[in-house]
A and B are shown apart, each in its own frame.
Chain A
């Protein structure tokens, strides 16, 4: 057993809740859901709708998809070559495990989750944000149960440098923002609109919103009275702040109107107000992350499923309100129960999903695509900015500083606050001598800020321009170690073409593709510029820019 300590804790937690609420339905012995169960329930939908699923994805497609979903980047060419050559029948499962255990997985998923939890706005970037992201990274590294993680984040009190989990409460701070954010993120329910007005068809009333927000009536942010600072690794100073619970305080709802101004704290959809305790926010945290909560596990499973499958059982992921009909009710319910009954753990759920037949289909390029909610073909998703950045760096052989890259996840689609800081560092801070013969000796350490700034784009046209002209692409072609290695170590043009395909597209070229490029290269077979051009074409191909 890999994580006895955590399992023990979740056992105790579950046991405690079971005693508290006398809920005998919690059976830890419920059999685990298997991949075969998932496949059966998904294919039932295909049969019902008379849909023929797409063909199975080949190994190259599977590996690339898995790598992008778990690590945010394309596979190494060597890894791809080995995987394609491997004959073991369970090589896919083994590769999945290898990736799940990697530091890269934890770093990439910390980035994904911080984007969900904190949002994409640049104004929220700060040293506290980095600390929070590191906290998440540690959690994913250890596969901390997600109910535990949620409870910690929601209930956190303390100073930011001691308890980075407080960053979530610090970021949303106002009761109504905290209420809207926690309901959306942890419960998959949008209640924000009810803040101002009743929607005729929405189940949430303004009273629901404000009595939920009342749990945050005593959440406060304080700064050090002595003006204490805390410093990051580079010696920059930041104001020290903390989140704490005040002894009293209420949320003022409205300046006027027919409704009472202050409402008692009440859980969503609960008939009666909650029983008051010392620490109201902790009460809410316990309720949200509990096994009895009707939304928490569903929201988590739906979001994780949608990360791999392109959409949730309920779409969009934050519309879990009662009327919403999941595309596969039985499968959804069983996944949720399995997840909740077995410790709210992320990695087993990921193993289950990625081993399924639905995840392992190809992306169906002939004729009309079947309805997406049937999961009868792999989704074709445009790479996110972060995936594009990581994949170009990976494919070309550019070293980068991972801490900075992780922050890209949270700043995607937003602007850098201080573009001037980019000027503090030289664009090519330490270009190594390019005399080395073997790949690996030629590397540049990138001045991350420049690239981060470049890769904060919002529209696909900007993304196309990034692949045309960004410094990352340009540096990757000029000094990235992959192309240097190709020119230095491989003699034949055909084999060079093969390797560059593995770098960029994680597969070998077809005969036709090889011939196309061979023909273009025939007049200048040893000219590095021709290979730069070829590599540029692959990096700009439609295929490269999609997770498919």
Chain B
């Protein structure tokens, strides 16, 4: 398996100037209210979880005294850190684990050997063509900005995963936090009844799970992990024989014990009590309620995609992601593995693209119908793209020097293509976009000052975004 991450030089930038795609000229598909869309418009009030209210408020009231004592410093409120004008409140990362082929998705090269067998189709935005296996997403193109000129030097899964989750290449001396962890750290809300950062998916690949984690911020900012189908952990409900009253009693005994005797391990007790208070809030019922997909209509659940006659777990996880951001969760990663197609690229991509098409397009419509699209940035990306060359096993290998990602919502300007690759899809031909530029754009959308620094336990300042990163003005 060749590693193709060497790049001799950037192609001549004078080849062709970028043409901004025209925006909003016509709307062939109807941006709002597609007839068959099984989504009911939403009243707008967040979190209509009426059943849980009784239990929740009961628990809240009864624990209030305990909790307020437990809450130590360290959690900062959103308003202190972020630009109040920023529209993006949440982010959903659709993670294409293994690296999706850009040529077989958002950067088709029809009529060439490298283009493979897939055709390109028109989208709702003139000038933007995508792979034929993304027909529903094509109808949503007005929401989407495709960046075709992302370039990174790393074509190794583990290292590229790290780069694309943290915005920094791996360094020996510092373990960077993932973007979700940074957001959780910077804009966590004090009384959240749901975790700020949730990961939906199975952890595949090698042991480098740090790519999801809190890095030097500590594993307190690691994601709350749910299985690929959004399986509900049993620990979110009380076990048999324990009710609210008994749990409250246990917590009272525990906090009394910790307050009086917890100094045996020094300051660790305070950290632990803070975690326990946080966990107690997650048990208020709202989190569990949010994870219950039965609250959604059958038609909507189906619309998120079917796989071999069953609801596709990736689609259901996307639906769950919407329910989570609706309740104020800041960052949700939904992972879809299987893109590392060194063999049978086209067979596997076709199957995966159908899943992406259903889930991604429905997610956009669903978010829009609920008024959440403006405040939710959806990122479609993986660790890199795949080679223009098709190998002897009908596969494509790793390729990082030019690949595509897609963005929607969160206040970005959709209906456009940024950058382009050469005619083979091998190198960037216009407007190279570094990974640092991407992260600068994400954090700018979130209203964060790019110069803001985080501190490692050794006191070393690390900017939230590599200083070379520049927010992409055409998107904001």
Contact = CB atoms under 8 A, between A and B. Distances in A.
Interface of A: 115, 119-123, 174, 176-177, 190, 192-193, 195-197, 252-258, 319, 363-366, 369, 380, 413-417, 419, 454, 457-462, 464-466, 468-471, 473-474, 478, 510, 512-513, 516, 520, 529, 533-534, 536-537, 540-543, 545-546, 548
A415 B389 CA distance: 34
Contacts of A533: 246, 249-250, 253
Given A458-B212, A533-B250, A548-B265, A195 B272 contact: no
27 contacts: A120-B207, A123-B204, A174-B1, A192-B158, A254-B4, A256-B6, A365-B265, A415-B203, A415-B227, A454-B235, A458-B199, A458-B209, A458-B212, A458-B225, A459-B220, A462-B235, A464-B276, A465-B279, A469-B242, A470-B235, A478-B240, A478-B241, A510-B261, A537-B257, A541-B254, A541-B262, A542-B258
B260 to A, nearest CB: 6
B254 A540 contact: yes
A461 B240 contact: no
Interface stretch (B34-42, B127-135, B148-156, B459-467): B148-156
B202 interface: yes
A461 B262 contact: no
Interface string B260-293: 1111111011001101101100110000000000
Interface in B203-236: 203-207, 209, 212-213, 219-220, 222-225, 227-229, 231, 233-236
Nearest to B4: A255
Given A122-B203, A542-B269, A415 B235 contact: no
B450 interface: no
B154 A380 contact: no
Contacts of A473: 239
B86 interface: no
B246 to A, nearest CB: 7
B69 interface: no
B202 A363 contact: no
Interface in B166-190: 170, 172
Given A119-B206, A468-B279, 5 more contacts: A196-B155, A258-B8, A460-B275, A461-B275, A510-B261
A176 B1 contact: yes
B297 interface: no
B199 to A, nearest CB: 8
Contacts of A257: 6, 8
B10 interface: no
B2 interface: yes
A193 B389 contact: no
A255 B4 CA distance: 6
Nearest to A258: B8
B218 to A, nearest CB: 9
B225 A457 contact: yes
A122 B153 CA distance: 28
A536 B252 CA distance: 12
B235 A542 contact: no
B452 interface: no
A414 B209 contact: yes
A307 B282 CA distance: 33
Contact of A468 (B207, B220, B264, B283): B283
A436 B238 CA distance: 28
A419 B227 CA distance: 9
Interface of B: 1-6, 8, 153-156, 158-159, 170, 172, 195, 199, 201-207, 209, 212-213, 219-220, 222-225, 227-229, 231, 233-242, 246-247, 249-250, 253-254, 256-258, 260-266, 268-269, 272-273, 275-276, 278-279, 282-283, 387, 389
A22 B209 CA distance: 45
Contacts of A471: 234, 239
A461 B172 CA distance: 27
A414 B202 contact: yes
Contact of B264 (A415, A457, A543): A543
Contact of A474 (B3, B239, B273): B239
Contacts of B249: 533
B239 A119 contact: no
B268 A190 contact: no
Contacts of A253: 2-3
A282 B261 CA distance: 57
Given A474-B242, A478-B241, A461 B268 contact: no
Nearest to B221: A459
Given A460-B275, A468-B279, A415 B207 contact: no
B5 A197 contact: yes
A258 B9 CA distance: 12
A466 B233 CA distance: 9
B206 A121 contact: yes
Contact of B222 (A174, A319, A459, A510): A459
Given A192-B156, A256-B6, A470-B235, A414 B220 contact: no
A253 to B, nearest CB: 7
Contacts of A541: 254, 257-258, 262
Nearest to B278: A461
A537 B250 contact: yes
A58 to B, nearest CB: 12
B172 A196 contact: no
A197 B202 contact: no
Contacts of A252: 1-2
Contacts of B231: 419
Which of A120, A252, A254, A415 has its CB near the most chain B CB atoms (within 10 A)?
A415
Contacts of A537: 250, 253-254, 257
A389 B262 CA distance: 22
Q: Which of A414, A542, A545 has the most chain B CB atoms inside 10 A of its CB? A: A542
A547 B113 CA distance: 59
Contact of B3 (A120, A254, A464): A254
Nearest to A533: B250
Given A461-B279, A520-B253, A122 B235 contact: no
Given A468-B283, A516-B256, A192 B6 contact: no
A545 B264 CA distance: 13
A122 B202 contact: yes
Chain B CB count within 10 A is highest, among A258, A364, A380, A541, for: A541
B234 A470 contact: yes
A267 to B, nearest CB: 21
Given A192-B156, A516-B261, A465 B222 contact: no
Given A464-B276, A464-B279, A542-B258, A197 B153 contact: yes
A319 B174 CA distance: 12
Contacts of A457: 225
Contacts of A478: 240-241
Contacts of B225: 415, 457-459, 462
Nearest to B197: A459
A363 B202 CA distance: 37
A220 to B, nearest CB: 14
Contact of B202 (A415, A454, A546): A415
A153 B246 CA distance: 52
Given A195-B156, A196-B155, A255-B4, A466 B262 contact: no
Given A257-B6, A415-B228, A459 B262 contact: no
Contacts of A123: 204-205
A476 B124 CA distance: 59
Contact of A534 (B158, B202, B253): B253
B204 A121 contact: yes
Contacts of A513: 257, 261
A346 B407 CA distance: 53
Given A469-B239, A470-B235, A254 B6 contact: yes
